[in-house]
Amino acid sequence: MNKINIQAGQIIFREGELNNSMYIITSGTVEIFFTHKNSATRLALMKKGDFFGEMALFRAKPRTATARAVMDTEMVAVESKQQLERYLLANPEFAAKMVRILADRLANTNELLISKLNEITTKEIEYQIGET
């Protein structure tokens, strides 16, 4: 794992980029955002002890958001599943935190998916009622 120092305002990665690194913040602040129709929407503000970019370790897909340092930030880059496994074994408190956060993110994604599916189903029913 490599320590990285990022200056305030510097982009860590951009939407659409391919790379496999996950980051753990040791000091500073990073914002995660995506851009839609030339408008940036903040998804999260990450601080010391937080992690981001973990999906890059598990899937070979382009980044779905951009990460930018809000203030001077020091991070550790995790570049492989093996590095992550070693880090988690050496840092069980962080491992427990990571499991809690990933479970919350999954639950939020499930809620969003169910909400969108309900919207689609409701529109289909409205459309069918309108046809008769």
Cα–Cα dist 80/93, whole Å = 20
Instruction: Quote the pLDDT of residue 109.
Output: 86
Query: Which residue has tokens 């479970």?
Result: 103
pTM of the complete model beyond 0.95: no
On whether the 1-79 domain is CATH 2.60.120.10, my answer is yes
Q: Over the stretch 56-104, which tens digit does the pLDDT of each residue have?
A: 888 878 898 999 999 999 999 999 999 999 999 999 999 999 999 999 9
User: In the chain, what are the domain boundaries?
Assistant: 1-79, 91-131
Instruction: Quote the pLDDT of residue 125.
Output: 65
Instruction: Quote the pLDDT of residue 130.
Output: 62
Q: How confident is the model at residue 108 (pLDDT cuts 50, 70, 90)?
A: confident
